[in-house]
Amino acid sequence: MKLSVIILAAGQGTRMRSTLPKVLHRIAGKPMLQHVIDTCKSLKADDIFVVYGHGGEQVKSTITDKSIRWVKQAEQLGTGHAVKQVSPEIDDESQVLILYGDVPLIHHDTLHELISIFPENGISLLTNQLADPTGYGRIVRDDKQTVMGIVEQKDANEQQLLIQEVNTGIMAANGKELKRWLANLSSDNAQQEYYLTDVIGFAASEGRAIVTATPNEPAEVEGVNNRRQLASLERAYQIFRAQELMDGGVTLLDPYRFDLRGKLTAETDVIIDVNTIIEGNVIIKSGAYIGPNCHLIDCTIGENCVVKNNTIVEGAMVGADCTLGPFARIRPGTSMSDNSHIGNFVEVKKSTIGSGSKANHLAYIGDAQIGKSVNVGAGTITCNYDGANKHLTVIEDNAFIGSDTQLVAPVTIGKGATVAAGSTITKNVNAEALCLTRVKQKEIAGWQRPTKKSKAE
Ligand code: UD1
Ligand code: CA
């Protein structure tokens, strides 16, 4: 049967105390609403409707996913009213799953189960047992444990308030039946809202089957109303990801100090030390070690690399057996061949570093092509920018660049050439040559340093 998902995202979220609509607040760097949408896609939903209201334009311009059909709820008159806005779009012969833009961690497996237990023309409902059910709608069952309805906190009597089984709000229903039930909702209740939960009562009174499932993890059905809850779900998300990685053979020195904001593909025996942030699409090959406080963004780290602490790698390809850092910054467009070394306080941008080449200390390498077995001395700078355009520096195999050299691009240093320390290179250097641009050293014997004047004078 066709699967249509309705994601409710019209609520205001006042308690976030934010100018940003609630569903755009991020978990692991991604808007909460996008998390829910991605989960819908993993379920291969045929339609994804998002009911928007407050901050709608901002939501639509941020979530540009083409697969979404936007439905406006101009006034927030309750969850039932919100779902009803989609009624005209719903096929009779579809299964309708209702989700929430502020319940971001709902998992594919839980929803898959909810859909698979779905009774024809009935409802499947995700419920949860809570030690403290305060605030939630309570699941009312008869003495045969058949679900009879849901009663909201504000409408519940003393007996009903004792019920610990609560409504998560997530449910699936048949399209045709759901539309009929929605049409019959009234707002005659404590909050004068159109409650989606009344649909359960209608189904029960018609003798329809109502089956329930529970989430595997409590965090899956937790919603975000304030920034504390946002932080708490961020941690829950991170610990799930950390556990997956550890199960896959990655050592995390402390899973509570690991952050994944994107996708990490890690081969076996990768070791990740504390406080590392992984962003975008990152691949770490087997045996690599990532030291403390590193930030890896959209990059590949090759086999057996050692990335020492506080190193940033973004948009780069790093080959096998390389050493990076501590405190190195590898910027987009960089490619490091096997066994190359970029050491402390070295910045590399849009450059290729040949195998076995080293820049171990305090250098800037930008727009450069560095061959094999090149040594770049401390303090070397490629002067790649003339204020208007960027120029290329080429350093061929086996060249030796002495410390504190400026390479004024465009310039080529030939194979095996040696540039003496402290040189400013403005012209190409031939292969195997020694090039130096130093001023001759002068000496003045018996030099008298100036002395301080005494205060009395
Ligand atoms: C709802 C359920 C309650 C359940 C709880 C779980 C109803 C009547 N009650 O209560 O049984 O235990 O969720 O958290 O459904 N929304 C709209 N438009 C509206 C109203 C709400 O889009 O007009 C969206 C909100 O943005 C939010 C979600 O629906 O994402 C839930 O709304 P909320 O007001 O928080 O419902 P609760 O009162 O918490
Ligand atoms: Ca709520």
Please give the helix or strand (H or E) that residue 423 lies within, else none.
none
pLDDT tens per residue, the chain (457 residues)? Answer: 899 999 999 987 899 999 999 999 999 999 999 999 999 999 999 999 999 997 889 999 999 999 899 999 999 999 999 999 999 999 999 999 999 999 999 999 999 999 999 998 999 999 999 999 999 999 999 999 999 999 999 999 999 999 999 999 999 999 999 999 999 999 999 999 999 999 999 999 999 999 999 999 999 999 999 999 999 999 999 999 999 999 999 999 999 999 999 999 999 999 999 999 999 999 999 999 999 999 999 999 999 999 999 999 999 999 999 999 999 999 999 999 999 999 999 999 999 999 999 999 999 999 999 999 999 999 999 999 999 999 999 999 999 999 999 999 999 999 999 999 999 999 999 999 999 998 899 999 999 999 999 877 6
> Last residue of some domain: 221, 254, 275?
221
* Tally of helices (H runs) and strands (E runs) in the chain: 8, 37
Total-model pTM: 0.93
Query: Do 259 and 167 belong together in one domain?
Result: no
- One domain for residues 293 and 213: no
Going from the Cα of 67 to the center of ligand 2, the distance in angstroms, rounded, reads 26
Pair 143, 255 in one domain: no
Quick one: tokens of 389?
A: 């355009």
Alpha carbon 110 to its chain's center: 22
Q: What per-residue confidence (pLDDT) applies to 283?
A: 98
Q: Are residues 109 and 172 in the same domain?
A: yes
Q: Whose CA is nearest to atom 31 of ligand 1?
A: 79
Ligand 1 atom closest to residue 136's alpha carbon, by position in its atom list = 12
Cα(318)–Cα(76) distance, integer angstroms: 52
- Whether 448 is covered by a domain: the verdict is no
Q: Which residues, including other chains, have CB under 8 Å from residue 109's CB and lie 6 or more apart?
A: 216
Cβ pair 389, 371 in contact under 8 A = no
CATH assignment of the domain containing 155: 3.90.550.10
Longest C-alpha distance within the chain, in Å? 110
Alpha carbon nearest to ligand 1 atom 37, residue = 136
Pairing of strands 26-27, 30-31: antiparallel
Pocket test for ligand 1, best of 22, 79, 222 (most atoms within 8 A of CB): 79
List, as one string, the DSSP characters of 284-327.
E-TT-EE-TT-EEES-EE-TT-EE-TT-EEESEEE-TT-EE-SS
Looking at the 3D structure of the chain, how many domains does it have?
2
Per residue in 42-95, pLDDT tens? 999 999 999 999 788 999 999 999 989 999 999 999 999 999 999 999 999 999
CATH of the domain at 274: 2.160.10.10
pLDDT at 457: 61
Whether residue 175 sits in one domain with residue 104:
yes
Same domain, 53 and 116: yes
Q: What atom of ligand 1 comes closest to residue 53's alpha carbon?
A: 22
The ligand 1 site (C-beta within 6 Å) comprises 8-11, 51, 73, 76-79, 81-82, 100-102, 136-137, 150, 152, 166-169, 195-197, 223
Q: Which residues of 401-427 are buried (b: 16+ CB within 10 A; e: fewer)?
A: bbbbbbbbbebbbbebbbbbebbebee
Burial of 447 (0-12, 13-18, 19+ CB in 10 A): exposed
Distance between CA 413 and CA 427 in Å, rounded? 9
Looking at the fold, whether 212 and 247 belong to one and the same domain comes out as no
In a domain, 11, yes or no: yes
Q: Which ligand minimizes its atom distance to the CA of 11?
A: 1
Q: What integer pLDDT is reported at residue 54 of this predicted model?
A: 76
Is the peptide bond preceding residue 255 cis, with omega within 30 degrees of 0? no
Residue 41 lies in a domain: yes
| Side-chain-facing half-sphere of 104: CA atoms under 13 Å | 27
Query: Do residue 87 and residue 10 come from a single domain?
Result: yes
Q: Are residues 297 and 166 in the same domain?
A: no
CA distances from 316 to 80, 267, 288, 363, 403 (A): 49, 18, 16, 18, 26
Number of the ligand 1 atom closest to the C-alpha atom of 22: 26
258 and 151, same domain (yes or no) = no
Write out the two tokens for 18. Answer: 């934010």
The full DSSP string for 76-128 is ---HHHHHHTTGGG--TTEEEEEEETT-TT--HHHHHHHHHTPPTTSEEEEEE
User: If you average pLDDT over every residue of the chain, what do you get?
Assistant: 97
CA dist., res. 139 & res. 444, Å (int):
95
**Cα–Cα distances in angstroms (integers) from residue 269 to residues 42, 303, 313, 380, 396, in the given order:** 29, 10, 20, 35, 35
Q: Catalytic: 108? A: no
One-letter amino acid at 443 equals E
Ligand nearest to the CA of 189: 1
Whether residue 112 is contained in a domain is answered as yes
The tens digit of pLDDT for each residue in 184-226 reads 999 999 999 999 999 999 999 999 999 999 999 999 999 999 9
Residue 444 lies in a domain: no
Domain extent at residue 185 = 3-221
Going from the Cα of 119 to the center of ligand 2, the distance in angstroms, rounded, reads: 26
Contact between 371 and 395 (Cβ < 8 Å): yes
Q: Are residues 329 and 207 in the same domain?
A: no
| Candidates 54, 107, 361, 391; catalytic one | 361
Ligand 1 atom index nearest CA of 8: 22
Looking at the structure, do residues 210 and 252 belong to the same domain, yes or no?
Answer: no
Q: Which of 193, 221, 249 is the last residue of a domain?
A: 221
- Strand pairing category for 250-252 and 94-100: unpaired
